[in-house]
Amino acid sequence: MTERFDLFINNERVRAPGQEDFPAVNPYTQETWARIPQASDAQVADAIAAARAAYEGGWRQTTGYERCKLMLRLAEIMEANADRMAIMETTDNGKAIRETSGQMRSAARAYRYFAGLADKIQGATIPIDSREAFDFTRREPMGVCVLITAWNSPMGLLSNKLAPALAAGNCVVVKPSEHASATTLEFAGFLREAGFPPGVFNVVTGDYRVGQALLRSGRVDRVSFTGSPGVGAQIAADAGARLVPVTLELGGKSPNIIFDDADLDRAVPGALVGIFSATGQTCIAGSRLLVQRDVHDEVVARLAERARRIRLGDPLDKRTQMGTAANAPQFERIIASIEAGVSAGARLVTGGKAATGDGLGRGFFIEPTVFADVRNDMELAREEIFGPVLSVIPFDTEEEAVAIANDTRYGLASGVWTENLPRALRMIDAIHAGTVWVNTYRMAQAMAPFGGYRDSGFGRERGIEALEQYLQTKNVLIDYARAVRDPFAD
């Protein structure tokens, strides 16, 4: 049976008579498994109004301890439902269940981490020049925040935004991607179960029209967006026209650099994880693999042999190592990028086409693909493919590796594989990216700040830095001088 989801506004499931909706398609079977509502402008306005009323009606005055207790309860509910939510997310976006299961538990960890910060928000006393005045700061919530998430990791991306927003004392309206909305709508019930007051958390779903209605309402206090640079630029423009601050977590074309002194038994699996996890559909994918020439051929051979053994199959099967592309448009874009790479002269080492065979059904499967002899000026190395496509680029010297790594409009993540500590430290200093992993890749933690340079966005998620995105500073000065200060006195 096709499941039907409703909007979530003011702690209520909402569906208007004749509500427009659209299908949620399982990318493994290409069958509609759910119907998702297309929120109207009026429903978007209702969600914003509910959040505003909750914020002004008492939520902004809650103590950090009260918010902490609610968030810890939310984490418990999330953990109790992790397996069910993982199945739902895998059904919605085709990511292997072994990955979505881990992401549900990581999301719960994020709510626990920020719950621990909720009662530790504090200002400072400021020494000023006057001896008869006292100056201090207060840290206060922003107000109503709009959180817009992408389709590749709905629950993980939401936890990056929602956990600090709630800990800081804000109310939120969430818009998930129209390509993967189900888990966010299901998750909404967890907040009600945890005891969050009506209006603190609201979800409106739909296409770009919903995003426009949210951003052009003029009644929100912060926007946080995860998605493509093109959409991010439009969101920043719409928000900027209303002087609304924005956090943008955008794309990447991340360099993963293997030096000739690296432990290849670690570096090769690390390169595979960097690009083929989540079918390459992650902003941090190590899609440019820079390999020092002395070990280049060995690394390429090892990569090809290991890539051919990656197990594709039903994403709900725990034995499956790589799932499908998340939707038909994404599948088509990835295939087109592969074909363009071949036409440009890159050497296709393995993969390169749609995967077929036993157990793959009608799914949007793509073979794990490795290109060699890639130049950094090729489209393969310039544009984010967001799929299981690895471009291997040779280099000779450390200086050349830095030049290639930084020759991109992006700056989200990077990796360095070397046993030479001074070299690792030099690379950390030289690479222009928000994250540098050394002898690992794609390791994320709730307490470690995450975000990009350049076209990869601005602002930070996770860590204490994320909490700062959802707070504003109020300065207070108290004059306690005995003498009257009257500059206009006779």
Mind telling me the catalytic residues? 249, 283
Q: Where are the beta strands (DSSP E) in 303-454?
A: 347-350, 369-372, 389-395, 415-417, 437-438
CB hemisphere CA count around 95 (13 angstroms)? 29
What size, in residues, is the chain?
A: 490
CA–CA distances in Å: residue 311 to residues 35, 45, 56, 337, 400: 31, 46, 52, 23, 35
Helix (H) or strand (E) holding 361: none
Q: Which of 113, 115, 112 is nearest to 64 (CA)?
A: 115
Q: Give the distance, in angstroms, between the CA of residue 244 and the centroid of all CA atoms in the same chain.
A: 20
Q: Is 450 helix (H, G, I), strand (E, B) or coil?
A: strand
Handedness of CA 265, 271, 276, 281 (dihedral sign): positive
- Counts for the chain of helices (H) and strands (E), in that order: 15, 21
Token pair 């936890």: residue: 159
Is residue 205 a contact partner of residue 229, using CB atoms and an 8 Å limit?
A: no
3-state SS of 8-77 is EECCEEECCCCCCEEEEEECCCCEEEEEEECCCHHHHHHHHHHHHHHHHCCHHHCCHHHHHHHHHHHHHH
CA–CA distances in Å: residue 122 to residues 89, 119, 410, 468, 471: 37, 9, 35, 11, 11
Pairing relation of β-strands 471-479 and 133-141? antiparallel
CA atoms of 229 and 76, how far apart (whole Å): 35
Q: Give the distance, in angstroms, between the CA of residue 399 and the centroid of all CA atoms in the same chain.
A: 31
CA atoms of 232 and 346, how far apart (whole Å): 30
